[in-house]
Chains A and B, each alone.
Chain A
Amino acid sequence: MPEAIRRQVADHPCYSEQAHHHFARMHAAVAPACNIQCHYCNRKYDCANESRPGVVSELLSPEQAVRKALAVAAAIPQMSVLGIAGPGDPLVNPERTFATFRLLAEKAPDLKLCVSTNGLALPDAVSELARHNVAHVTITINCIDPDVGAQIYPWIFWQGRRVRGREAAAILIEQQQKGLAMLAERGILAKVNSVMIPGVNDRHLVEVSKAVKAKGAFLHNLMPLIAEAEHGTFYGVMGQRSPTPAELKALQDECAGDMALMRHCRQCRADAVGLLGEDRGAEFTMEKVEAMEIDFDAALQRRLEFRAAVAAELETKRERAPQASPVTLHRRAPRPADDGRPVLMAVAAKRGLVFEHFGHAREFLIYEASAAGAKLIGHRRAAQYCFGDAECGEAEDVLAQTIRALAGCEAVLCSRIGWEPWRELEAAGIQPNGEHAMEPVEDAVMAVWREMLAAGRLVRSVAEQRCA
């Protein structure tokens, strides 16, 4: 990754794997209107217990959004980014979106601005984005073939008409590709999100990854489809399945040879607040925000100090390990035949450390440890008790669900763990490990891997050795 881009994303949690351990963002839910329908989205949805794109609890005016952003930025010095990601499409609500950016830039010029769009209105918005110093744009691109697109997008609104089927997909694809190229020309960093939909675009995404790289995208984020019947989406209701973690990883590995891949995405709500994976939105409802007293200058000072401290810490780390880069380039390297096999491990992490009690973790970071080092390959959500809608259901035991979510992992690292989950994890073939509490995640993962290697548990099978 070029040094200029590395610096540009160094404190953006959604664009840099390293930054996401330290920096927080807020999504301002000011953009309700949308100009397309995707089969994984339901425009009617709002549930405080759900976390996924397109879901919000409270729609804000630009003034309210800025008030909230300043409150968040005062309470959370890690805050470095304000993004607009919906609940519709920011560029279909240009007045609200750009008013939010304008007002925020006056009061908190240190915050980076970004948008996430479906791309249909992007070519017409690029100049305006540049004028407002929006330095990061994410486009969701699920296909470059209209026949594939016709299975994902039932309609788009285009030039005063609802256009359907293949024709709709063809227009959308053309606009997305045009918009992407225009961003690259302007030097605005473009990340591409793609939703992996088994049987629909899963094979096609390899081609998409190559195409968007050629057009100038600097980072590709392959995300699993979220589809549950109770979400009321086309895919959910029609029984379209989501990819398994193993299928997603295989696709990511296949695309990794072509471009930088993002593996730390949490598929946030359109009103998410805080560090990725720890939503603090409930602390900042408009009612609470209105009651907060804020010293803007002191808050700005705290943010700048925090950023300087993190930069210094990361600089030290980089000097210690010169190959580290904020976005990991996952390339397939030739393997020596006598090294141990790679192992997946789950980590109850916070701020880059083995931090949490197993039972308190809301999510686990998944690392692949091998002789080449520890590499983040994704995250899995821990099962949570849902106190929401009765329709959500609570059929299965929470511990059993979490253990199922960790399928494929051979160890789980946490700060502490109770006796019962310990026993159940062991029975499921996942070794709990509480010996590395508060250590940096990657060091801890590698220490556990080396212990497994020394214990002779990582010998490759004959077939694997032949492949290597």
Chain B
Amino acid sequence: MTLAIIESCVNCWACEPLCPNGAIVAAEPFFAIEAAKCTECLGDRPAPQCAEICPVEGAIVNELDEPLNPPGSLTGIPPERWAAVRREIAAR
């Protein structure tokens, strides 16, 4: 039962003060969750606080490496649309 922060983290600090277990570390090059301390907020909060405030899709994953905020869930941009726009920009 533990969450992890991956490299798409933008180091915005939003999650750090919210963690009830003090498990979030301002590590380099991106933030990290101390696995031993993480409880996924069970019993403390209605939902994992880091994943609730994180602005970056995919940056926080569970033990199965599944993103708590999957593509499109935070920005509202459909992933296929984003992919098409990126191809278009690259082709300019």
Give chain A's interface residues, CB within 8 Å of chain B.
32-35, 37, 39, 43-44, 59, 87-88, 92-93, 154-155, 157, 160-162, 229-230, 232-234, 237-238, 391, 393, 395
In the complex the two chains form, is A237's CB within 8 Å of B12's CB?
no
- B interface bracket (residues with beta carbon within 8 Å of A): 20 to 34
Cβ of B82 under 8 Å from chain A: yes
**A33-B12, A33-B13, A237-B85 given as contacts; is B45 within 8 A of A160 (CB)?**
yes
Determine the distance from Cα of A33 to Cα of B18 in the docked complex, in whole angstroms.
Answer: 11
How far is the CB of B16 from the nearest CB of chain A, in Å? Answer: 8
Nearest Cβ in chain A — how far from B66, in angstroms? 17
Contact A237 B82, beta carbon cutoff 8 Å: yes
Roughly how many angstroms separate A32 CA and B10 CA in the complex, as a whole number?
9
Whether the pair B89, A391 counts as a contact (CB closer than 8 A) is yes
CA distance A157 to B55 in the complex (A): 10
Nearest-Cβ distance from residue B80 to partner chain A, whole angstroms: 11
Q: Which residues of A contact B56 (CB under 8 A)?
A: 43-44
Given contacts A32-B11, A155-B74, A393-B89, contact A37 B53 (CB under 8 A): no
Scan residues 56-92 of chain B and give those whose CB is less than 8 A from a CB of chain A.
Answer: 56, 74-77, 81-82, 85, 88-90, 92
Q: Which of B46, B53, B77, B89 contacts A157 (CB 8 A)?
A: B53
Q: Which residues of A contact B81 (CB under 8 A)?
A: 237-238
How many residue pairs at the A-B interface have CB separations less than 8 Å? 70
**Secondary structure call for the A interface:** loop
Query: CA A157 – CA B82 in complex, angstroms?
Result: 24
Query: With a CB–CB cut-off of 8 A, which chain A residues contact B75?
Result: 37, 154, 233-234
Among A32, A161, A234, the residue within 8 A (CB) of B12 is: A32
Inter-chain CA distance A234–B73, complex, in Å, is: 12
A59 partner residues in chain B, CB cutoff 8 A: 11
A35 touches B11 (CB 8 A): no
Q: How far apart are B41's CB and chain A's nearest CB, in angstroms?
A: 9
Give 9 new A-B contacts, CB below 8 A, not counting A35-B14, A43-B12, A157-B53: A34-B14, A34-B55, A44-B10, A155-B74, A160-B18, A162-B47, A162-B52, A162-B53, A391-B92
Expressed in whole angstroms, the Cα–Cα distance for A88 and B52 within the complex equals 16
CB-CB nearest 10 A-B residue pairs: A33-B14, A32-B12, A43-B55, A157-B53, A393-B92, A162-B52, A33-B13, A154-B76, A229-B85, A237-B77
Instruction: Find chain A residues with CB under 8 A from B47 CB.
Output: 160-162
Q: Is A160 within 8 A of B77, CB to CB?
A: no
The CA of A237 and the CA of B13, in the complex, are separated in Å by 26
Q: Is B49 an interface position by the 8 A CB rule?
A: yes
Taking the closest CB of chain A, its distance from the CB of B13, in whole angstroms, is 5
Ordered by A's residue number, 27 sampled pairs between the chains whose C-beta atoms are within 8 Å are: A32-B11, A32-B12, A33-B12, A33-B14, A33-B53, A39-B76, A43-B55, A44-B10, A88-B14, A154-B76, A155-B74, A157-B53, A160-B47, A160-B52, A161-B47, A162-B47, A162-B52, A162-B53, A229-B88, A234-B76, A234-B77, A237-B82, A237-B85, A238-B77, A238-B81, A391-B89, A393-B92
